[in-house]
Amino acid sequence: MKKLVSILLTIMMIGTLAAGCGKSSEDTKSSDGEKVKLTFWAGLTGDDQQAMADMVKQFNSEQDKIEVDFYSVTWGEIFTKLSAASNTESGPDVMLMHPTDLSTYAGKDMIVPLDDLIKTMDVNQEDYSDVIWKGNQVDGQQYGIPLDFHCMSMFINLDSFEAAGLTAEDAKVTSVDEFNALCEKLKTDDQYAVGLGSNYAHTYRYWYGLLGQAGGSFLDEDMTKAEFNSEAGAKALDFLADWVAKGYAPEAEADIDADWLGGTTAMVIEGPWFTPSAMASDLNFTTVPFPQVLGENSVWGSSHTITVPKYDKRSDEETEATQEFIGWVVENSFNWAAQSGQIPANQKVRDSEEYKALEMYQYAQAFIDQAEYVKYEPLCPGTSEFGADNELSPVANAVYSVISKEKDSVSALDEAAESVDKILGN
């Protein structure tokens, strides 16, 4: 009975997709002058969703050969829908993902390699940093074209810095001692130096970048076994835990953004998507790169990347239209950056006078300066279970347990490593 119910629910989901966000046989590609119709899916919400919707609207208005239907819900929901509609006419022609999704869906044969498609487009590997381009490969094949990249930088309240006798240059610390000295000067009876969420994915992302700085690796080279439960992993985590222990960050902090915007903290470490919110506030602020304090240059990073889901019955006209649309999105990623705050992955776009003329460019520079040493989470299927975006991640929960003083770093990371090894099949 349960199996029958499951089958019926799947059929109903596919039917809903076909009616609401897929493509029917009546409204697709035509060679008799009608528009070729494509569907584009994403997991964007809020300002990001609106920014992408505006781009699709612009594309549709600038030419009369192709019409793109944009559909976006939460990431969890969009991947559930993709699984239900994979390789059917109800599925998308183009889909936005993250690099950590690629190995999962390539392994399930649900997205296609783009190497041949890229050869026919004005998309060149030379226009991307090596880290960002190869971060979208699976087994040497290109499954995604990076639209943007995002990492972590410090947003600093310049009024708080001035009151402490500091300038923005003082925030560009290069050692733990320099970071601690900065925080000692910034903390007052009324304000903490920096935010640190007690149960927030960003805290995991900070630790991930610091793990790389300390010379550590998350997994072994074959991506079959955890390696983060190391001296480097513990060193990175203890450094974060000290922020709370030394009074630099609040205990059990629930909302790092609200605390910084409200003046509770002098610094917050955030991604470029936070820039529009910071600009909309009354704060006098700037950005500086993520603290590089443990030796090597490293910062957590990711991207929104453009993929093509598998559809065996896709026509030549659809394929050509897909190629044209993707090329246009990459070429016009300035528009995406201008609204969302995300950093264009394409170097030509980043170097354009149009992009540099944006008011937010002065804040984007801190992120751009880190493009060559961003560290992506492991590009393997298990990342969906133990990565930063999974609320049940055993690694994230290990990090939180140390920040909240429930466990020591060594035992917490050892326990998390056992869980990761099980996820990887060991």
Q: Supply the CATH number for residue 255's domain.
A: 3.40.190.10
Whether residue 4 is contained in a domain is answered as no
Closest CA to 268 of 277, 280, 259: 259
> Do 282 and 175 fall into the same domain?
yes
Whether residue 385 is contained in a domain is answered as no
For the stretch 208-220, pLDDT in tens is: 999 999 999 999 9
Whether residue 11 is contained in a domain is answered as no
Reduce the secondary structure of 5-23 to three states and give it as a string: HHHHHHHHHHHHHHHHCCC
CA torsion sign for 78, 82, 85, 87 is positive
Closest CA to 134 of 150, 119, 145, 123: 145
Residue 324, Cβ density class (10 Å: 0-12 exposed, 13-18 middle, ≥19 buried): middle
For the stretch 153-191, pLDDT in tens is: 999 999 999 999 999 999 999 999 999 999 999 999 999
Whether residue 402 is contained in a domain is answered as yes
> Do 329 and 365 fall into the same domain?
yes
Domain range for 228 is 151-300+390-424
> Do 341 and 267 fall into the same domain?
no
Return the structure tokens found at 288: 């500086």
> Do 284 and 408 fall into the same domain?
yes
User: What is the C-alpha to C-alpha distance for residues 390 and 33, in angstroms, rounded to an integer?
Assistant: 46
Let me know: does 283 contact 157? Beta carbons within 8 Å.
yes
User: What is the C-alpha to C-alpha distance for residues 176 and 165, in angstroms, rounded to an integer?
Assistant: 20
How far are the Cα atoms of 191, 247, 268, 274 from residue 186, in angstroms, in the given order?
Answer: 8, 11, 13, 22
Question: What's the gap between Cα 8 and its chain centre?
Answer: 35
> Do 126 and 263 fall into the same domain?
no
Whether residue 161 is contained in a domain is answered as yes
Closest CA to 75 of 352, 311, 291, 387: 387
Residue identified by tokens 């060559």 is 372
pLDDT band for position 426 (cuts 50, 70, 90): confident
> Do 401 and 339 fall into the same domain?
no
- Domain count across the chain: 2
**Half-sphere CA count of 298, side-chain side, radius 13 A:** 23
Amino acid at 187: K
Look at residue 47 in the predicted model and tell me its pLDDT: 82
Q: CA angle, 422 as apex, 421 and 426 as ends, to 5°?
A: 70
> Do 320 and 285 fall into the same domain?
no
> Do 286 and 313 fall into the same domain?
no
> Do 166 and 201 fall into the same domain?
yes
For the stretch 263-315, pLDDT in tens is: 999 999 999 999 999 999 999 999 999 999 999 999 999 999 999 999 999 99
Q: Which residues contact 182 (CB under 8 A, 6 or more apart)?
A: 166, 170, 171, 173, 193
User: What is the C-alpha to C-alpha distance for residues 421 and 44, in angstroms, rounded to an integer?
Assistant: 31
Whether residue 5 is contained in a domain is answered as no
> Do 162 and 215 fall into the same domain?
yes
- Pairing between strand 153-157 and 265-270? antiparallel
pLDDT band for position 53 (cuts 50, 70, 90): very high
For the chain, the average pLDDT equals 92
Question: What's the gap between Cα 169 and its chain centre?
Answer: 27
Closest CA to 241 of 390, 418, 398: 398
pLDDT band for position 14 (cuts 50, 70, 90): very low
> Do 125 and 160 fall into the same domain?
no
Q: What is the mean pLDDT of residues 223-233?
A: 98
Let me know: does 152 contact 270? Beta carbons within 8 Å.
yes
Number of neighbours of residue 2 by Cβ within 10 angstroms: 6
Higher-confidence residue: 6 or 349?
Answer: 349
Return the structure tokens found at 256: 């790092």
User: What is the C-alpha to C-alpha distance for residues 149 and 169, in angstroms, rounded to an integer?
Assistant: 24
DSSP state of 406: S
Question: What's the gap between Cα 359 and its chain centre?
Answer: 23
For the stretch 111-156, pLDDT in tens is: 999 999 999 888 999 999 999 999 999 999 999 999 999 999 999 9
Whether residue 56 is contained in a domain is answered as yes
Q: Is the pTM of this model over 0.75?
A: yes
Look at residue 23 in the predicted model and tell me its pLDDT: 55
Whether residue 87 is contained in a domain is answered as yes
* Percent of the chain whose predicted confidence (pLDDT) is above 70: 92
Q: Which residues contact 365 (CB under 8 A, 6 or more apart)?
A: 287
> Do 289 and 417 fall into the same domain?
yes
Closest CA to 36 of 320, 301, 410: 320
User: What is the C-alpha to C-alpha distance for residues 135 and 385, in angstroms, rounded to an integer?
Assistant: 19
Higher-confidence residue: 30 or 417?
Answer: 417
